[in-house]
């Protein structure tokens, strides 16, 4: 029998809701654990003061403004990625593609329709994958910049040597003692000592490869934008080519790892085909899918017929 005191106790959440809450909390903690060190490095750590040769031609280029400033490149990359995710998941919703099952989808179905719950669940997974991958690449990149302390190609222009007339081959100088900017503009000197690895390409590559939407819509346009951003960093003398290559590789690596984690079974080498969403040869609505999706329909002859363009 249930006593009056027991009837007033709050009901325990179902096991599925408890697991979902723990999963969301663990993912939030994971984001915080990756973001907190990066914020701390940005705010309280100065780069390694690497000594330099005053006759080093690789750091003697003039200072130029960015062709593609960091803020527009970073913000534009995120905006394009989010917009692409929205478009692709909306197409999947309109074309009645089966939604991935999971605790989050089941929970959302209590207040949303099955199709809408699948759309929101896929959207949240995509955004989390992109944000987590971006934070990981940012942490690795910032740690590398501060730890290596490599001078940018325009380092000498920012340094402003105190005694340039005494410069001779083989003379190794310290930035603190030889650069006039150490006392006048220390932040500018710090920034000029953070060349490796490049940050802008890693951000672009991380978002490009972090989710399946780029695979479904094709790589060409995204790669063209990345190549333009990477090339501008070298032509503006803000990074050495090896810095850009390292930054792009780091971003692509973490983005690919996120795609393996959150888009299991996706092949980045799928050729694109048009599939009739209405199941009728003369239908007006189509979706871009990969060969792996079409091959899965091969078990059902009718589905295979509908899948072929």
Question: Could you tell me which residue, 260 or 13, shows the higher pLDDT?
Answer: 260
Mean pLDDT value across residues 289-299: 42
Mean pLDDT, the chain, rounded, equals 73
Q: Is the distance from CB of 173 to CB of 53 less than 8 angstroms?
A: yes
- DSSP strand pairing (273-276 vs 172-173): unpaired
pLDDT in tens, 121-178: 777 887 888 788 888 888 999 999 999 999 999 999 999 998 888 888 888 999 988 9
Q: Return phi, psi of residue 273, to 5°.
A: -140, 160
pLDDT in tens, 52-65: 999 999 999 999 88
Cα dihedral sign for 250, 251, 256, 259?
positive
Whether residue 77 is predicted with pLDDT greater than 80 in this model: the reply is no
CA separation for the pair 175, 190 (Å, rounded): 10
Question: Could you tell me which residue, 71 or 242, shows the higher pLDDT?
Answer: 242
Question: Could you tell me which residue, 247 or 221, shows the higher pLDDT?
Answer: 247
What pLDDT is attached to residue 103? Answer: 63
- Domain ranges (residues) in the chain: 47-77+128-261, 270-309
Give the dihedral of Cα atoms 90, 92, 93, 98; nearest 10 deg: -150
Contacts for 167 with CB less than 8 Å, ≥ 6 apart = 54, 55, 161
- DSSP strand pairing (273-276 vs 286-289): antiparallel
Q: Is the distance from CB of 306 to CB of 274 less than 8 angstroms?
A: no
HSE-up of residue 35 (Cα within 13 Å, Cβ side): 9
The tokens for 229 are 């951003």
- Any idea which of 40-54, 58-72, 213-227, 288-302 has the lowest mean pLDDT? 288-302
What pLDDT is attached to residue 75? Answer: 77
Whether residue 240 is predicted with pLDDT greater than 90 in this model: the reply is yes
- The string of DSSP letters for the chain reads ---HHHHTSPPPPPHHHHHHHHHHHHHHHHHHHHHHHHHHHHHH-PPP---EETT-GGG-PPP---SS-HHHHHHHHHHHHHHHHHHHHHHHHHTTPPPPP-HHHHHHTTTS-HHHHHHHHHHHHHHHHHHHHHHHHHHHHHHHHHHH-PPPTTHHHHH-BTTGGG--TT-EE-HHHHBTHHHH-HHHHHHTT--SS-SHHHHHHHHHTSSTHHHHH-SHHHHHHHHHHHHHHHHTTSS-HHHHHHHHHHHHHHHHHHHHHHSTT--TTPPPEEEETTSSTT-S-EEEE-HHHHHHGGGSHHHHHHH--
- Any idea which of 114-118, 157-161, 195-199 has the lowest mean pLDDT? 114-118
CA separation for the pair 238, 6 (Å, rounded): 69
**C-alpha distances out from residue 21 to 12, 25, 104, 278, Å:** 13, 6, 9, 37
What pLDDT is attached to residue 15? Answer: 62
């Amino acid at each position: 029998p249930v006593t009056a005191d027991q009837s007033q106790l709050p009901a325990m959440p179902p096991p599925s809701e408890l697991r979902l809450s723990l999963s969301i909390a663990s993912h939030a903690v994971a984001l915080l654990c990756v973001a907190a060190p990066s914020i701390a490095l940005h705010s309280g750590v100065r780069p390694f003061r690497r000594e330099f040769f005053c006759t080093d031609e690789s750091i003697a280029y003039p200072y130029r403004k960015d062709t593609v400033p960091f803020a527009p490149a970073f913000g534009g990359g995120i905006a394009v990625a989010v917009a692409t995710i929205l478009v692709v998941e909306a197409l999947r919703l309109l074309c009645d593609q089966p939604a991935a099952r999971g605790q989050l989808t089941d929970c959302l179905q209590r207040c949303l329709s099955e199709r809408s719950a699948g759309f929101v669940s896929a959207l949240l997974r995509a955004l989390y994958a992109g944000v987590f991958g971006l934070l990981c690449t940012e942490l690795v990149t910032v740690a590398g910049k501060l730890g290596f302390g490599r001078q940018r190609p325009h380092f000498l222009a920012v340094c402003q040597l105190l005694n340039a007339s005494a410069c001779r081959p083989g003379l190794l100088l310290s930035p603190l003692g030889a650069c006039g900017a150490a006392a006048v503009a220390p932040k500018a000197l710090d920034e000029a000592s953070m060349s490796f690895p490049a940050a802008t390409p890693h951000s672009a590559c991380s978002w490009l490869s972090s989710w399946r939407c780029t695979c479904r819509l094709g790589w060409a346009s995204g790669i063209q934008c990345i190549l333009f951003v990477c090339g501008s960093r070298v032509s503006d003398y803000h990074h050495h080519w090896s810095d850009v290559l390292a930054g792009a590789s780091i971003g692509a690596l973490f983005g690919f790892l996120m795609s393996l984690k959150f888009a299991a079974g996706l092949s980045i080498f799928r050729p694109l085909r048009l599939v009739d969403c209405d199941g009728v040869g003369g239908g007006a609505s189509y979706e871009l899918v990969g060969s792996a999706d079409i091959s899965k329909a091969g078990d059902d002859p009718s589905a295979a017929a509908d899948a072929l363009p």
